[in-house]
Structure 1
């Protein structure tokens, strides 16, 4: 029997009563300042600003009204799109469409509440989809009335101690994996840096560049074929457009010039996503690695704007590509494919270990935070 089981048997053998989340502390409303205004005043200050669950900027103390700043550890609710929770300990604020909770009820550990809320994300995601026909959206009432079990304080603290340890181990693995990714990117750049001693050709002369014909609304969750849209995660569709080896990238959105997929076989394609099909002179994996390494820098070099928000076909057609010998391309591909697998393939190495650790953590978290309900 674990220490937690012993404490439960000793302190709450008949079950645990629940309380509405809104009754456990203060709900913080955030600031009415617009996200665009926040971005213009950013400058590495001590106040972190969240919008849509993501960091918008770190701003100076006097950039945000004092009444809108939360200065104690709190739980931030990601209420739109991908539902979730963040625990933040430094001073922060957030847009008014978000809210956060500062848990200060006697006998309630805030970190315990945060860990419990993580077990409710899937249920809340379903609720958010059911109540919003467009972007999944939670209401304040959805979280205020959410029932949170409140076992004796000693039980809460022991659960927090165990889960904090799991979280720390996961963070260490993530840091190591990030270091490996940086190392991979360094070697990738080194392998893919060429001079004038090899031929360079516009991509449009040595590859086919085109788009698809589908919209995101065409996706079917259990579709037979992979459907590359504009996001980082592919969708599914019951029909396919192409059967080939190609490099796929978004034509607009947050992934412009940064998110690339390698298609090998049958797939469907969004009308604002691009496919690059190399000709005989190019190894398809070679040009995939080169685009991942260089295309965003190419956009920065050629754009007159601070950032590129959408791509047009001529940008691809004019893109200069090195064309070393096929033997040299294949040598580079063999090396970079191995590096990529080590930092991306969840079946081997650190990614596999991190995936296994997350699965283990979620299993224990859900188990530790499931209590017998106290009879009324």
Structure 2
């Protein structure tokens, strides 16, 4: 920061001129070549940038679609020179974000976009940083043009003013922000790698403790030591604000973890009377899913009162440690076993009858409790890291945005 401050004092002590976007460089519009013209699209080599290419990217050096030279010559689409800044000016997301990106290669644009090639005294990446920093201000000009789609009027976009300091100041700002962004990316990668390593470590211990027991540990089919009760009914339209606690099979995928003491939903006593009963200590396991990985996910009900469940779920009643069984249903060994019984293509099903055939290692309940205690602690460590990681990343991004706003804000020179 001291280096930038010194340059400002040396090169522009009285302030920096603010200029409208219309004057920062040469602007290009977009267009969409006719899809009916195969010679416009087949074997194309020119990147054609559309809003979908801009999602989450700051540099666009490759695109989903490519067009031919014939498309550029024969349609309203123009070739934009390299080192341009592309902006989405018409989209359904312009109420939230202004997609902008640096384009280092010659490219053509979709009709919902514009691009500018900055003049010689404006660094393209400096302009990109400014547009990203001022994105929310520019989005104030976005207006609905039909349905959920918003558009930014060209005249208002071009009239928007940005500071243009000397090139030496721009270079120092770009160097600082790029270094900061690189450091932020490295730190995020390290945090995510640490979380992934913890998850793998946890899965290893879980599978070792449960699915790789000693030679004297018996393995019994689920149906030999438990009673499986298939649920039925309970559409979401039966849910009420209060009443009998209800575990819906779909919520086992999205809401519940290994165990639960509270339910997300309730049903009336009249509806509950027709549903499968879930006693404290029972497991509820899903029977259907859109993919093999999620089917047969289980939650142990540890609440103090009876709950109910409905269709696409099975209640497992037993005399074992409920969390031990719930943890087993997360192991790699169980994942292999359930594949043998899974049926269906678009909807995968593992029936209660099939589940009853799967053999599960059953050490004494005291040993099950010891294993659960270990896995609970490991799971807590992983969950804490998973909870703190987004907050840590968000904090670093806010810090970056603070410094970005600071270095990109200038006193305007007096007219």
TM-score greater than 0.5 by the shorter chain: yes
**Residue 21 in 1 paired to residue 21 in 2?**
yes
Q: Is the 8 A contact 2:46 2:67 kept in 1?
A: no
Distance 1:80 1:200, change over 3 A: farther
Match of 1:11 in 2: 11
Match of 2:274 in 1: none
Please give the alpha-carbon distance, in whole angstroms, between the structure 2 residues aligned to 1:209 and 1:192: 34
Q: Is the 8 A contact 2:261 2:301 kept in 1?
A: no
Please give the alpha-carbon distance, in whole angstroms, between the structure 2 residues aligned to 1:322 and 1:134: 55
Distance 1:150 1:265, change over 3 A: farther
Match of 2:99 in 1: 85
**Residue 179 in 1 paired to residue 193 in 2?**
yes
Q: Is the 8 A contact 1:207 1:276 kept in 2?
A: no
Shift of 1:147: 2.0
Please give the alpha-carbon distance, in whole angstroms, between the structure 2 residues aligned to 1:192 and 1:247: 26
Q: Is the 8 A contact 2:199 2:382 kept in 1?
A: no
**Residue 335 in 1 paired to residue 349 in 2?**
no
Please give the alpha-carbon distance, in whole angstroms, between the structure 2 residues aligned to 1:165 and 1:150: 21
**Residue 345 in 1 paired to residue 358 in 2?**
no
Distance 1:242 1:367, change over 3 A: farther
Please give the alpha-carbon distance, in whole angstroms, between the structure 2 residues aligned to 1:25 and 1:169: 33
Q: Is the 8 A contact 2:86 2:101 kept in 1?
A: yes
Distance 1:285 1:103, change over 3 A: farther
Aligned-pair RMSD on alpha carbons? 5.6
Please give the alpha-carbon distance, in whole angstroms, between the structure 2 residues aligned to 1:318 and 1:153: 73
Q: Show the 5 A alignment for 1:130-169.
A: 131=144, 135=148, 137-139=150-152, 141=154, 143-169=157-183
Shift of 1:100: 4.5
Match of 2:126 in 1: 112
Please give the alpha-carbon distance, in whole angstroms, between the structure 2 residues aligned to 1:21 and 1:318: 68
Please give the alpha-carbon distance, in whole angstroms, between the structure 1 residues aligned to 2:394 and 2:372: 32
Distance 1:32 1:353, change over 3 A: same
Number of residues of Structure 1 aligned to a counterpart in Structure 2: 320
Q: Is the 8 A contact 2:121 2:167 kept in 1?
A: yes
| TM-score of the two chains, using structure 2 as the length reference | 0.55
Q: Is the 8 A contact 1:25 1:105 kept in 2?
A: yes
Residue aligned with 1:101, SS:
strand
Please give the alpha-carbon distance, in whole angstroms, between the structure 2 residues aligned to 1:268 and 1:64: 52
Distance 1:111 1:334, change over 3 A: same
Q: Deviation digits for residues 159-215 of structure 1, max 9, x if unmatched?
A: 1111111111011112223323443453455456659946569xx95889967569x
Distance 1:166 1:5, change over 3 A: same
> Larger Rg: 1 or 2?
2
Q: Is the 8 A contact 2:48 2:110 kept in 1?
A: no
Match of 1:375 in 2: 414
Please give the alpha-carbon distance, in whole angstroms, between the structure 2 residues aligned to 1:207 and 1:86: 51
Distance 1:58 1:111, change over 3 A: closer
Which deviates the most, 82-91 or 45-54?
45-54
Q: Deviation digits for residues 107-155 of structure 1, max 9, x if unmatched?
A: 1111111111222233345554x64685363425254433222122222
| TM-score of the two chains, using structure 1 as the length reference | 0.60
Please give the alpha-carbon distance, in whole angstroms, between the structure 2 residues aligned to 1:250 and 1:145: 50
Distance 1:62 1:247, change over 3 A: closer
Shift of 1:27: 3.1
Match of 1:75 in 2: 85
Distance 1:246 1:283, change over 3 A: farther
Match of 1:304 in 2: 345
Please give the alpha-carbon distance, in whole angstroms, between the structure 2 residues aligned to 1:127 and 1:110: 23
Please give the alpha-carbon distance, in whole angstroms, between the structure 2 residues aligned to 1:285 and 1:245: 21
**Of 45, 64, 67, which residue of structure 2 is paired with 1:64?**
67
Distance 1:113 1:331, change over 3 A: same
Q: Is the 8 A contact 2:46 2:66 kept in 1?
A: no
Please give the alpha-carbon distance, in whole angstroms, between the structure 2 residues aligned to 1:341 and 1:199: 35
Match of 1:365 in 2: 404
